């Protein structure tokens, strides 16, 4: 049955694909965490732009009852508009049973499975912590330990998306790159387990090398492997000095000397102060929790 379709779970590649600062983790303060949440979001955007310069091979396998139901091998790249493009290289699907009635039942089951997996993907996408606000919420309530003997920092948070779930992120302290994530959550009454490991190329690109989503009660699993990353777009080359003429300058009249522009306050420092002031108002009971959350999100969106 062809049930993977467009559901290749590429979303896992975006799950906190950059690490966090050991210093900020140790401090655990609102201002430090807010700064780091913004930095993580910006670094993740940079990592995503770097990934657009590559083409890679992705293998996705759907297992049910211990048997492979669908295996797809694709070449993946980014299009001019930034959308992912999938070039199918091989597709091995379990054949539908013979007989009109049996084929009809099998086709109905395939459609139900596609809807189930689409809903599951929607849930798992929320664990990508796609905004600075969501990253900050996770950091503020996560338990941080390490670095351990292998140089790993571990962050574990609970009730991240739905009550009773948990998310753990392992980060290499030296490189501040995420090396592993693991999430346990629930979908339609069943436990869902997600795990992923990351590799880093010499140029600094951090990517998901392997991921697996398992639903034990249904004896189902989806495995994704990404490999053979090939750089198809060269890195920007700096122009040699003198090759291009310098931009024209406008002389300042002698009678009106140009005054130096006033120093602009750091937007990062401004955001820190606003967050501290907002937290103080909330702690004093002057604003409600909903007002606090809404204003915090508004401040972070300024980045």
Dump pLDDT digits (tens) for 126-152. Answer: 888 888 888 888 888 888 888 889 888
Mean pLDDT of 166-170: 92
Span 27-45, mean pLDDT?
A: 72
Q: Are 223 and 212 in contact (CB under 8 A)?
A: yes
Q: In this predicted structure, what is the pLDDT of residue 53?
A: 92
| Residues 16/18/22/25 CA torsion (nearest 10 deg) | -20
Residues in the chain: 303
Of the candidates 290, 288, 286, 267, the one whose C-alpha atom is nearest the C-alpha of residue 34 is 267
Does the pLDDT value for residue 22 go beyond 60? no
Give the range among 17-21, 221-225, 267-271 with minimum mean pLDDT.
17-21
- The whole-number pLDDT of residue 23 equals 41
Identify the pLDDT of residue 194: 92
Amino acid 156: pLDDT: 93
pLDDT band at 98 (very low <50, low <70, confident <90, very high): low
Looking at residue 65, what is its pLDDT?
87
Q: 294, 281 in Cβ contact below 8 A? A: no
Residues 6 or more apart whose CB falls under 8 angstroms from that of 135 comprise 16, 37, 40, 41, 129
Residue 256 has pLDDT above 70, yes or no: no
Distance CA 60, CA 221 (A): 11
Please give the Cα distance from 114 to 95 (Å, whole number): 16
Element (H, E) at 178: strand 177-187
Distance CA 41, CA 140 (A): 16
pLDDT at 214 over 90: yes
Query: Which H or E run contains 74?
Result: strand 67-78
CA–CA gap between residue 164 and residue 69 (Å, rounded): 31
Cβ atoms of residues 75 and 54 within 8 Å: no
Q: What number is the average pLDDT over the span 294-298?
A: 76
| 245 — pLDDT class (breaks 50, 70, 90) | low
For residue 240, name the pLDDT band (cuts at 50, 70, 90).
low
pTM score of the predicted model: 0.66
Nearest Cα neighbor of 22 from 131, 149, 143, 174 is 174
Q: Check residue 175 and give its pLDDT.
A: 78
Rounded to whole angstroms, how far apart are CA atoms 41 and 87? 29
Q: How far apart are CA 26 and CA 263, in angstroms?
A: 32
Q: What is the pLDDT of residue 122?
A: 86
Sheet containing strand 152-158, edge to edge, reads 84-93, 67-78, 54-64, 220-231, 206-215, 190-200, 177-187, 166-172, 152-158, 143-145
DSSP states along 112-157: HHHHHHHHHHHHHHGGG--SHHHHHHHHHH-EEE---TTSEEEEEE
Contact 53, 232 (CB under 8 A): yes
Query: For all residues of the chain together, what is the average pLDDT?
Result: 76
Most confidently modeled of 7-21, 131-145, 152-166, 281-295?
152-166
Look at the alpha carbons of 125, 126, 127, 128 in this order and tell me if their dihedral is positive or negative: positive
């Amino acid at each position: 049955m062809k049930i993977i379709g467009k559901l290749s779970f590429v979303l896992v590649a975006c799950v906190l694909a950059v690490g966090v600062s050991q210093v900020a983790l140790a401090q655990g303060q609102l201002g430090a965490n807010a700064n780091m949440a913004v930095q993580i979001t910006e670094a993740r955007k940079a990592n995503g732009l770097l990934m657009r310069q590559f083409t890679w091979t992705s293998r996705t396998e759907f297992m049910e009852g211990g048997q492979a139901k669908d295996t797809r091998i694709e070449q993946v790249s980014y299009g001019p508009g930034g959308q992912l493009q999938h070039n199918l290289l091989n597709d091995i699907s379990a054949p539908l049973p013979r007989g009109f009635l049996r084929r009809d039942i099998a086709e109905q089951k395939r459609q139900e499975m596609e809807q189930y997996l689409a809903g599951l993907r929607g849930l798992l996408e929320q664990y990508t912590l796609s905004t600075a606000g969501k990253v900050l919420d996770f950091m503020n309530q996560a338990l941080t330990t390490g670095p351990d003997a292998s140089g790993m920092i571990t962050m574990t948070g609970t009730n991240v998306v739905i009550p009773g779930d948990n998310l753990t992120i392992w980060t290499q302290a030296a490189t501040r790159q995420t090396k592993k994530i693991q999430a346990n959550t629930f979908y339609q009454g069943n436990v869902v387990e997600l795990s992923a490991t990351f590799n880093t190329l010499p140029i600094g690109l951090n990517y998901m090398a392997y991921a697996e989503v398992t639903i034990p009660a249904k004896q189902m699993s989806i495995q994704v492997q990404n490999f053979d990353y090939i750089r198809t777009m060269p890195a920007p080359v700096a122009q040699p000095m003198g090759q291009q003429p310098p931009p024209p300058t406008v002389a300042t009249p002698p009678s009106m000397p140009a005054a130096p522009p006033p120093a602009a306050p750091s937007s990062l420092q401004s955001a820190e102060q606003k967050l501290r002031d907002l937290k103080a108002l909330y702690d004093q009971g002057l604003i409600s929790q909903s007002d606090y959350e809404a204003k915090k999100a508004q401040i972070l969106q300024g980045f």
